[in-house]
Structure 1
Amino acid sequence: MNKIIKYLLSFLFFTQISCQEKKDHKITTPMTKYEWSEGTSAALGYPMEVYKGGIDYEGGGWLSLDNGMTPGTYSWGTLSNGMSNNFKGLPIRLDFIWMSYMENQFYLIDKAVDTDKIREYLKKGFDVKVTNGSGDIEHMTYDKFGIGLAPGGVVVVWVAGIGYQKEIGRYQAEKVKIPESEIAKLDSHENRFWRKDYLDMVHSREQIIPAKVREENKGKPIPFGLWDTYRTRYSWKLAFELPEKAKLYPLANVKLTTINGEREQFETTKPPLSQNEMRAIPTKIVFDFVGADGKEYGGECSLNEKSSFEAFKTVFGDTPNSTKADIIVKVNEANSYLTIKLKGENGKEAFIKADSIEVF
């Protein structure tokens, strides 16, 4: 009996030691850190500002987002410059309160983000051509964590790098009211969210909301739900129709921006230029080409939002996966103008108007 008891005690002792070693090993396993900074984005005409809080990241770290106002002067997905560009664990949670100025409403977001998806993007990275004109390829990765804040408490998260930006997820925040007792303790800078002079400045300053945008939005209701519409994806790819004997410039990539804040680039020397993928509606296309005269030209177009939605409605109807389509960029023989057409495999097609076109 004594032998059995001794055996059991020895077994339990060594089992405990073994488990402790595994536990200790788990604790001391080094965590992979990545070099990244944070950035915020607001929709055109709808400035946002974080009141307090920030981002939790792996390893018990925390990063404040109280870095000043994110003005509504740029397109959705344009990220501000972050304050923390160093090596750290990846984001795991959003936990902050912000002010949506055009609603005069505070929102609270307290949600976990898809860290595994972020890690996958950072590990995979992307290839881009270096900007020295050599055509050499450089492998890079995403180095910015972007947070978009839109009316209605919409929060969209992206990862971004040079020439690339990909959506991680969409989250819904809740309306909150800051207690009067908390407001009373704030100093003259911290209580700006409630001061009339500050709010009047936000609504009237050109650098925060362009005058043209203020005038266009005057008297109109806030288009709640619009930024979810931006996330709708369709099966399409880019195609070019260039003058005879002209070709895309082999030492530069074609650059694409879509309405949901994503960006990507395409290799010009390996046909086809791009494959059909589920993408949001395009907003900007930038490319270079060599004309029949051997000269290098640049092309750039910013697509009209209303015309783009109408064209995709014409071709795809109410079902985004009903067909596949091409966005065809056609340059005229004089290398001075271009048109954009959406053409579906179902035989339907529609031209898309542009807010600006440059061929130079």
Structure 2
Amino acid sequence: MNKSIQYLLSLLFFIQISCQEKKEHQKTKAMTKYEWTEGTSASSGYPMEVYKGGMECEGGEWVGLGFGIIPGGNSWGAINHGMGNGFRSLPTRLEFIWMSYMENQFYLIDTPIDTAKLKAYFSKGYEVKVTNGSGETEHLNYDKIGVGMAPGGVVVVWVAGVGVQKEVGRYKGKKVTIPESEIAKLDSHENRFWRKDYLDEVFNNGKVIPEKIREENKGKPIPFGIWDTYRIQYSWKPVFQLPEKAALNPLTDVGIDMINGEKEQLDAAKISVAQNAERAMPTRIVFDFIGSDHKEYGANGDLNEKSSFEAFKTVFGENPNSTKADIVIKVNEANSHFTIQLRGENGKVAFIKADKVEVF
């Protein structure tokens, strides 16, 4: 081989290695790792359990979701923590099979998820007031990725941090049947999905489905589609009406939970000038105020789901974009109770009942 050919081959080899190293560097650079833990969620009365699978992450990392039954006693979006924690790349794909117990049905989800949206949340983080009463704000990072499963094969992914939770996307699984040949190979723990003793425990254990919820749902059909109805957004903002000379505590945040599993923290010092935003219906409101007696009070209320649906239908009709509205939280003169009213710019008004109201 003459020197010219030898030199050319050496140059090509060097270029190939350099390009490969550059690609590997770019891949590593793009694969930023964040500190987070995985979790799962189910809706009240509808326990779920992952049979096998989980989430594929950037760079081929894998995060399993099969860490036990997901109780049906929690609100939709309440995240049960998984086993993992630490710096990891972000999920790119959902790929798992799960059991919807009240349907006696397995579902399969195999779909890419919005990794770019996840990155945007994890990279930006959010600001909240510190809890020591100083009024200072602190920057926090999202540290959980939750996967919710609902009847009908509905899957929702959220990103969450302390007091804040945002929806990343909604996906749909398909019904599957596990082959008898596969079931026959499972050990006594793995085959629990088909064992009568285990199923009886799921349906009758008050920790999985509280007796109150079980009785409320008894004889009723599964409300397929309701979990997509939860995702409908309306243009509204919170407005507070307090007794004369009382005011929201400006050193705190106002916490709002939504029916679609999202949560917000709003600066109480700026809430009077807050603009309308597209949000799902609220389910819980938490706030602090200073009464005319100069005492500090804390307050919270859980909104009744049926009453909320009725109120929003009264004000917005069949079109969630038909108007804008205020949710008015009015505290009584004795600082012992508050009411909740939905007021539309179209002049329509409706009260929302609360399942629980506390002022302390």
TM-score by length of 1: 0.95
1:50 and 1:69 in contact (8 A); partners too: yes
Query: Does residue 140 of structure 2 align to residue 140 of structure 1?
Result: yes
AA partner of residue 133 (structure 1): G
- What is the deviation of 1:19? 5.8
AA partner of residue 219 (structure 2): G
Query: Does residue 13 of structure 2 align to residue 24 of structure 1?
Result: no
Alignment partner, residue 276 of structure 2: 276
AA partner of residue 339 (structure 1): T
1:238 and 1:273 in contact (8 A); partners too: no
User: Aligned ranges for residues 166-205 of structure 1 at < 5 Å?
Assistant: 166-205=166-205
- What is the deviation of 1:15? 7.0
- What is the deviation of 1:130? 1.4
- What is the deviation of 1:23? 3.4
- What is the deviation of 1:131? 1.6
AA partner of residue 184 (structure 2): A
Identity %: 65
Which sits farther off after the overlay, 165-174 or 57-66?
A: 57-66
Query: Does residue 43 of structure 2 align to residue 43 of structure 1?
Result: yes
Partner of 1:322: helix, strand, or coil?
coil
For 1:268 and 1:282, the matched residues in 2 are separated by 17
User: Aligned ranges for residues 280-299 of structure 1 at < 5 Å?
Assistant: 280-299=280-299
Alignment partner, residue 78 of structure 1: 78
Query: Does residue 345 of structure 2 align to residue 345 of structure 1?
Result: yes
- What is the deviation of 1:340? 0.3
User: Aligned ranges for residues 161-240 of structure 1 at < 5 Å?
Assistant: 161-240=161-240
For 2:281 and 2:343, the matched residues in 1 are separated by 14
For 1:19 and 1:250, the matched residues in 2 are separated by 61
Which sits farther off after the overlay, 234-243 or 264-273?
A: 264-273
Q: How many residues align?
A: 353
AA partner of residue 303 (structure 1): L
- What is the deviation of 1:13? 7.7
1:330 and 1:339 in contact (8 A); partners too: yes
Deviations 1:147-204 (A, max 9, x none): 0000000000000000100000000001110010111111111111000111111111
Residues 192/307 of structure 1: CA separation in 2 closer, same or farther (3 Å cut): same
Which sits farther off after the overlay, 21-30 or 131-140?
A: 21-30
Deviations 1:268-325 (A, max 9, x none): 1225353211100000000000000000011111000011001110111111111111
For 2:273 and 2:197, the matched residues in 1 are separated by 52
1:147 and 1:155 in contact (8 A); partners too: yes
- What is the deviation of 1:219? 0.9
AA partner of residue 67 (structure 1): F
Query: Does residue 156 of structure 2 align to residue 156 of structure 1?
Result: yes
Partner of 1:78: helix, strand, or coil?
coil
Partner of 1:272: helix, strand, or coil?
helix
Partner of 2:357: helix, strand, or coil?
strand
TM-score by length of 2: 0.95
- What is the deviation of 1:21? 2.2
For 2:17 and 2:110, the matched residues in 1 are separated by 34
AA partner of residue 302 (structure 1): D
For 1:220 and 1:74, the matched residues in 2 are separated by 19
AA partner of residue 42 (structure 2): A
Alignment partner, residue 241 of structure 2: 241
Partner of 1:69: helix, strand, or coil?
coil
AA partner of residue 227 (structure 2): W
For 1:106 and 1:319, the matched residues in 2 are separated by 35
For 1:26 and 1:249, the matched residues in 2 are separated by 53
- What is the deviation of 1:14? 5.5
Question: Unaligned 5+ residue runs, structure 2?
Answer: none
AA partner of residue 64 (structure 1): G
Alignment partner, residue 91 of structure 2: 91
Alignment partner, residue 319 of structure 2: 319
AA partner of residue 187 (structure 1): D
AA partner of residue 299 (structure 2): G
Question: Unaligned 5+ residue runs, structure 1?
Answer: 1-5
For 1:206 and 1:312, the matched residues in 2 are separated by 33
Deviations 1:71-116 (A, max 9, x none): 0011000000121110010011111111000000001111111000
For 2:10 and 2:274, the matched residues in 1 are separated by 62
Partner of 2:40: helix, strand, or coil?
strand
Alignment partner, residue 67 of structure 1: 67
- What is the deviation of 1:64? 1.1
AA partner of residue 193 (structure 1): F
Alignment partner, residue 3 of structure 1: none
